[in-house]
Amino acid sequence: MFSSRWRFGLDRYSEVDLFTDRYEADVETLSQAIRAAASEEPDADGSVLFGHLKGTVVGLRYYTGVVNQGEMVGLVRQPENPYDRNAVMVANIYGNQVGHIKRELAAAMAHVMDNNLAKVEGVVHSGTKNTFTMPVMLSFWGKEENKNAVIEGMARRGYKLNTGGSSATVVIPFFFQLKNAFDNLFDGLMESKDGEKEASVGTPLLPHQKQALSWMCARENKSVLPPFWEKRGELYYNSLTCFSAKEIPERIRGGILADDMGLGKTLTTIALILTNFHNGKPLPVETFVSVAVCECHQLEQHVRANVKLNVYLYYGSERNRSKAFLSSQDVVITTYNVLSADSGNKSPLHGINWLRVVLDEGHVVRNPNAQMSKAVLGLKAQRRWILSGTPIQNSVKDLWMLLAFLRLKPFDVREWWNRVIQRPVTQGDRAGLQNLQTLVKCITLRRTKSSKVNGRPLVSLPEKAVCVEQVELSQTEREEYELARNEGKNTIRKYVTEGTVLRNYADVLAILMRLRQHCCHPDLLAKTSSDLGKTSTPAELRERLIDKLRLVLASGSDEECSVCLESVHLPVITHCAHVYCRPCIAQVINTEQETARCPLCRSEIKANELVEFPQEEMEEEKSTNSDKWRTSSKVQALMGNLLRLRCEDSSIKYLVVSQFTRFLSILEAPLREHGFSFVRLDGTMSQKKRTQVIQEFQSSAADSPAIMLLSLKAGGVGLNLTAASHVFLMDPAWNPATEEQCIDRCHRLGQTRKVVVTKFIVKDSVEENMVKIQRQKQDLVEKAFGSSNTERKTSRIDDIKALMEL
């Protein structure tokens, strides 16, 4: 549904041409209103087509909005219309009113629209026959469960939906069937015919950065029609929406620089700021230019190092909120949080007309409902840029926010984005995907580390060697391991025979977990509860569930929520021991009420039976049992390596990586004992502490730490640990990509030494099997994206069987 603001906006300003984005207060208010309404447009996901209906648009002579043959129109309810509270307004893509739906039909549609039973869309096929009315083809979309209500509701009022023909439309609720296509969406966007532009930046630009700079300058300066627009005689015509206009469509001054991380996007952007002020002339000193929204302030470092620029860091409680002051700066840097906190109440950042707004790590804003996104969309600027190595995190949906920020019309209004791109693409429409590709191609430059310019790789990284070191368990360790393995094998075999692996998924993971812990260090098992099954008191049940939750979360399996298919956020565990995001499972329960069942095993679930991780346990988790310290074969293997290497070259720095933070704690003792200086980085640390630790480790000072104990998944992709050139992976991960990402933290731009990776794998153990599976994993992951959720889980079961040699 559109908000009242949208309706208000269109009633009052229906004559305003939204297309030319003049900076007049009214226009700005209106486009803001439309954008606000746009973000409330519900997702098209899961919508099915109920049917078509031919209707009439009347009152054309009272309005200026024009529509061409084949053009899509929007239908907007006007409950406040003084002549008819059932009124349905018809508007073209630019929000200009075209007319109204004929009264009787509007009454029927109002019922359907107001009760949220269907979304109605219109296409004008035949064009205007006369100056008074015209036919419109209406299509009704909505949730399957509302289909009959809509068809009957319309029929009762004498309108029979034409449902024939397209009943074969299959809507697949998730989008991963096209995941591969999305992954490739940003591939091959590297041709840049704009040459290489020199820039007077302190740091010399690499050839690919000069290319990017030329491309960015061209996008800011050159007059090119936006995607899908062509000139037809006197008119400009949009081939996707069939809209045509007399005025030249406003071009997008900006785009998405989607180079891989480490290729110097930030540096290139600084070069752009310096070299392309007005009319392709360099920036004269002392002139305001840009606002950049950053996550890491990397920008500041470059700028400071390179040129004399007025740079203001706009954050902290003492920040200068004067518009005049901010306008006098060359660059203003702020964070998404500050921007979001400021927006609304007389935000100076929102009051200034910026020459350029740059979103660093732009993928951070992708949820259109988030405050942060609204704050970003509200910025006024002539030129707009998004820097992101990973513009699509999960699905096509992520792109909307980016296009909306760039104001790529008409897609900055969600309805048109949904109709023209998102729905066709999610429903597997090839043309839709192709349109999306064209769209992205027009505004994006992306190169990967492996891309080549003139036959040469973009960046030459030092060599990387990966070796696996087999670890033999001691006799005692082996005996304990075999005991646990046989016990677990019997349990899992039982589940497989019964076909209840999914129902007992947490147990299975727990068994595997224990075996993996055995491979690292016996003390890792200390907190694991032993007996499973037998239910006793509610308190004991709860305790056991929390135990399982802890195991699942700590298992490093990158457990995903089966509802949203993303990493679990705010994890809760059901009584049947399956882990979901709290909001996801709460929605399932809310929708299905008493009949709610676990999406994985179909056991009954209730809202009050969801168990979450107690806060005090989170704290407790950090402290380890201070029992007497003992060693393990794997600890010995690591220490052997470290001592030998220290003799060979004392200048090497090391990353010691484990999925078990408690294993990292165990390692601290022998490191101290042998006089190794080390720091530690794990997910529990505050942002401030992390920065401090990273700086310490990256320092080249003689007394700087030689080792970083690193938890496998700590830190984002931007984490730069190039001081290290040797990586010890203490235990294998389920997902080889996780290991790769971790290695890439030191094997990246800025690394000067050869990188050596040592993976410790316990011989004849579940770890060896994990490595075997890893080899096929890449393939499996790709297949899984092309299959259903159940198939993915089934392949997981096969993994488990292989791991346990069943």
Binding residues vs DNA (CB under 7 A)? 58-59, 62, 81, 83-84, 86-87, 99-103, 106, 130, 132-133
Q: How far is the CB of 14 from DNA (least distance, A)?
A: 11
The three-state secondary structure class of 171 is coil
Distance CA 483, CA 485 (A): 5
Distance CA 51, CA 162 (A): 5
Q: Which helix (H) or strand (E) holds 20?
A: none
β-strands 452-453, 456-457 pairing: antiparallel
- Is residue 641 within 8 A of residue 633, CB to CB? The reply is no
Burial class from Cβ neighbours inside 10 Å (0-12, 13-18, 19+) for residue 685 reads middle
Q: How far is the CB of 246 from DNA (least distance, A)?
A: 24
Q: How far is the CB of 58 from DNA (least distance, A)?
A: 4
In this complex, which beta carbon is closest to DNA, that of residue 130 or of residue 475? 130
In this complex, which beta carbon is closest to DNA, that of residue 12 or of residue 772? 12
**643 phi and psi angles, rounded to 5 deg:** -65, -40
The identity of residue 427, as a single letter, is: Q
Q: How far is the CB of 375 from DNA (least distance, A)?
A: 36
In this complex, which beta carbon is closest to DNA, that of residue 11 or of residue 609? 11
In this complex, which beta carbon is closest to DNA, that of residue 53 or of residue 712? 53
- Is residue 469 within 8 A of residue 216, CB to CB? The reply is no
Q: How far is the CB of 74 from DNA (least distance, A)?
A: 15
Distance CA 51, CA 42 (A): 19
In this complex, which beta carbon is closest to DNA, that of residue 122 or of residue 255? 122
Nearest by Cα to 14 from 91, 70, 113, 120: 91
Residues in the chain: 806
For residue 419, CA distances in Å to 168, 403, 404, 425, 524 come to 19, 15, 15, 10, 53
- For residue 135, the cross-strand partners are 56
Q: How far is the CB of 99 from DNA (least distance, A)?
A: 6
In this complex, which beta carbon is closest to DNA, that of residue 79 or of residue 462? 79
**Number of other residues whose CB lies within 10 A of the CB of residue 182:** 23
In this complex, which beta carbon is closest to DNA, that of residue 11 or of residue 28? 11
Q: How far is the CB of 88 from DNA (least distance, A)?
A: 7
Nearest by Cα to 334 from 354, 701, 629: 354
Q: How far is the CB of 61 from DNA (least distance, A)?
A: 7
Q: How far is the CB of 107 from DNA (least distance, A)?
A: 8
Distance CA 272, CA 358 (A): 11
In this complex, which beta carbon is closest to DNA, that of residue 62 or of residue 325? 62
In this complex, which beta carbon is closest to DNA, that of residue 100 or of residue 726? 100
In this complex, which beta carbon is closest to DNA, that of residue 99 or of residue 348? 99
Q: How far is the CB of 140 from DNA (least distance, A)?
A: 19
In this complex, which beta carbon is closest to DNA, that of residue 130 or of residue 345? 130
Both tokens assigned to 134: 């015209």
Indicate the DSSP class of residue 86: T
- For residue 74, the cross-strand partners are 91
Sign of torsion, CA 583 587 590 593? negative
Nearest by Cα to 424 from 439, 409, 445: 439
Q: How far is the CB of 132 from DNA (least distance, A)?
A: 4
Q: How far is the CB of 159 from DNA (least distance, A)?
A: 14
Q: How far is the CB of 278 from DNA (least distance, A)?
A: 45
Q: How far is the CB of 16 from DNA (least distance, A)?
A: 17
**H, E, C per residue of 627-692:** CCCCCCHHHHHHHHHHHHHHHHCCCCCEEEEECCHHHHHHHHHHHHHCCCCEEEECCCCCHHHHHH
- Is residue 37 within 8 A of residue 118, CB to CB? The reply is no
Q: How far is the CB of 76 from DNA (least distance, A)?
A: 12
Q: How far is the CB of 124 from DNA (least distance, A)?
A: 16
Q: How far is the CB of 403 from DNA (least distance, A)?
A: 32
In this complex, which beta carbon is closest to DNA, that of residue 106 or of residue 267? 106
In this complex, which beta carbon is closest to DNA, that of residue 58 or of residue 91? 58
Distance CA 519, CA 541 (A): 29
Q: Where are the extended beta strands (E) located within 686-784?
A: 707-711, 726-729, 755-762
Distance CA 109, CA 99 (A): 15
Distance CA 537, CA 94 (A): 63
- Is residue 692 within 8 A of residue 676, CB to CB? The reply is no
- Is residue 761 within 8 A of residue 767, CB to CB? The reply is yes
The identity of residue 470, as a single letter, is: Q
In this complex, which beta carbon is closest to DNA, that of residue 15 or of residue 791? 15
Distance CA 651, CA 632 (A): 27
Both tokens assigned to 366: 């992708």
**146 phi and psi angles, rounded to 5 deg:** -95, -5
In this complex, which beta carbon is closest to DNA, that of residue 95 or of residue 571? 95
In this complex, which beta carbon is closest to DNA, that of residue 63 or of residue 336? 63
The set of residues, in sequence order, having a beta carbon less than 8 Å from that of 703 and lying 6+ positions away, is: 677
Burial 240-255 (b: 16+ CB within 10 A, else e): bbbbbbeeebeebbbb
**496 phi and psi angles, rounded to 5 deg:** -65, -45
In this complex, which beta carbon is closest to DNA, that of residue 84 or of residue 764? 84
The CA-to-CA distance between both ends of the chain, in Å, stands at: 54
In this complex, which beta carbon is closest to DNA, that of residue 64 or of residue 167? 64
The contacts found for 154-163 with CB under 8 angstroms, 24 or more apart, are: 154/53, 154/108, 154/112, 157/104, 157/107, 157/108, 157/111, 158/104, 158/108, 159/53, 159/105, 159/108, 160/53, 161/50, 161/51, 161/52, 161/53, 162/51, 162/52, 162/53, 163/50, 163/51
Q: How far is the CB of 575 from DNA (least distance, A)?
A: 53
Distance CA 73, CA 57 (A): 11
